[in-house]
Structure 1
């Protein structure tokens, strides 16, 4: 009865993790052995999790967007079934946060493995560079440190775009080294000003913050992009 808690604001990485779980199912019988429920259908989700898989050795049940602070005695009673779930079922709960002091959290953590997915702060360029270097290595893409630093500035903490741009570079490189000029031509810098804005706000530099905000608005930068950075 493998049970997992996928918790955090980084929904892209959570979806990637879910894809890994889904990939272990027989694609022919996916519609019968992959089940995604809202929190309101918790009882149905647990009932499904207790059912053996159909024509496969595994079943995956996902309960999405859980707000654990809203779990009451009724939900806690339903979760008493966790120890009796078959080994063939992988049960997954996703949510943005979980207070481990809650009664329901303590119960879940007796049986579930907690995986946390937090968004990298936009001013932590060291962590962004580390993420780029790690993902580039996974794609067998050799990048120099100046290139990694440029990509961190150009892409920011957007992991979805990071993966997309690195895939593009890998295809273009075709196993050959890429120059800084080539990378700069292929990957445009669209978050540099937003990163500067975040840094100026962190430092409390009001004048620079207002200047950068004016520049971003004058270039028709989408407000949600600014906020996400």
Structure 2
């Protein structure tokens, strides 16, 4: 299939996938003649990309045309749609047309519906930081791709430390591989060499849950000092407290089946439910229910341009007060 659509928030993963597709398509000796990267700010970018995809390659290999950060799946004029409809089924097998976008394609658009009939779509979404089982699965997959062997404990620690930062994950795995000299990477190596990022957002959630105001405020300062996006911090907190609320609600409903609790709380690994139940054992359902409106208010204030540090600090103090016994 000569047409591909890559979309999602994980820019680093998209860049790697683009490179792999490009390398499969182009002959290195003729790559400079047959590779077109067309940014969205170029006039008539989409039209140019379609025209280039119809052009036979020079020399050996195929032609690779990349419409970078295109908006074709978000809005498409009638004239452009007509040109797209005329072109997509006529692109020769010797050409590859790639469209990348950070936004989810709008399935209601005629252009998206047309592309879904002729193109291969691939999503590169960032995993929510509180989905630790999915993060660990991602670590295992990337480690396999890179050729690094990790112990199970090392896998969990690395997933907690880098969260959904794919760029950092690849960098840390390369560093750990050099340090281990080809041997299996242990948890001690991860603790020595890897700088935690998202882990601190989860630590912040746990400090709030335990009502530890001083520790929570310290973690807020650390996250801001590391230029962590405030809305990303709030997203992590909201996701974690929503998970805790569902677990507590199911426990209060006398549900004993960990698989049922995991489904309700959207926890991929039912074995994790045991630890989540222990985490919410000391806090009441009513307290957890009070946290989500505060987090919603925090998100709204930040989106309206409120002072980041002061707003985070005030809301963290309020949340710790709710969770304190």
Shorter-chain TM band: 0.7 to 0.9
Secondary structure of 1:108 counterpart: helix
Name the CA shift for 1:226/1:160 in 2 (closer, same or farther; >3 Å).
farther
Q: 1:89 aligns with which of 75, 84, 95?
A: 95
- Give 3-state SS (helix, strand or coil) of 2:153's partner: helix
What is the RMSD of the two structures over their aligned residues, measured on CA atoms?
2.6
Who is 2:75 aligned against? 70
TM-score (norm 2): 0.63
The answer on whether the counterparts of 2:177 and 2:185 sit within 8 Å (CA) in structure 1 is no
Relative to structure 1, the CA distance from residue 108 to residue 178 in structure 2 (aligned partners, 3 Å threshold; closer, same or farther) is: closer
Question: Where in structure 1 are there 5+ consecutive unaligned residues?
Answer: none
Give the structure with higher Rg (CA).
2
Residues 1:216 and 2:220 are matched in the alignment: yes
2:162 aligned residue (137, 155, 166) = 155
Q: Secondary structure at the match of 2:225?
A: coil
2: CA distance between counterparts of 1:89 and 1:210?
A: 59
Quote the Cα distance in structure 2 between the aligned partners of 1:226 and 1:126: 24
Aligned to 1:21: 21
Q: Does 1:60 align with 2:61?
A: no
Taking structure 1 as the reference length, the TM-score comes to 0.88
Report SS of the residue matched to 2:149. coil
Aligned to 2:120: 113
SS of equivalent to 1:223: coil
Q: Is 2:49–2:65's contact at 8 Å kept on the other side of the alignment?
A: yes
Higher RCO, 1 or 2 (CA under 8 Å, sep at least 6)? 1
* Contact 1:63-1:93 at 8 Å conserved across structures: yes
Unpaired runs of 5+ residues, structure 2, are 234-325
Structure 2: how far apart are the matches of 1:107 and 1:168?
A: 44
C-alpha contact 1:194 1:226 (8 A) present in aligned 2 = no
Deviation at 1:64, TM superposition (A): 1.3
Number of matched residues? 226
Q: Give distance in 1, aligned partners of 2:172 and 2:117.
A: 40
Distance 1:210 1:108 in 2: 53
Secondary structure of the equivalent of 2:97?
Answer: strand
Native 8 Å contact 2:30 2:61 kept in 1: no
